[in-house]
Amino acid sequence: MKAEEIRELESAELGHRLGELKMEQFRLRFRSATMQLENPKLLREIRREIARIKTILHERRSASDE
């Protein structure tokens, strides 16, 4: 997802998506430790999407504090 697409989602949806991505990241890291992944770049993509979501959530919290 791109940042524009993420910004369109509500905070509750972002929290849910963040939880899903963290679980998927855990599964992929576990799988990479035991065997070779089909798409090793997927770990990087998930990590970056998690960072995007966290950044947007932080922006929203900062904007509501002001």
CATH of the domain at 59: 1.10.287
Q: Which domain holds residue 48?
A: 3-65
Question: Do 43 and 29 form a contact (C-beta atoms < 8 A)?
Answer: yes
Quick: pLDDT tens for 5-36: 999 999 999 999 999 999 999 999 999 999 88
**pLDDT of amino acid 3:** 87
**pLDDT of amino acid 1:** 79
Quick: pLDDT tens for 29-62: 999 999 888 898 999 999 999 999 999 999 999 9
Number of domains in the chain: 1
**pLDDT of amino acid 13:** 96
Question: Do 37 and 27 form a contact (C-beta atoms < 8 A)?
Answer: no
Tokens 């932080």, residue located: 58
* Rg for the chain, CA atoms, rounded: 14
Q: Is the whole-model pTM more than 0.85?
A: yes
**DSSP 8-state secondary structure symbol assigned to residue 38:** S
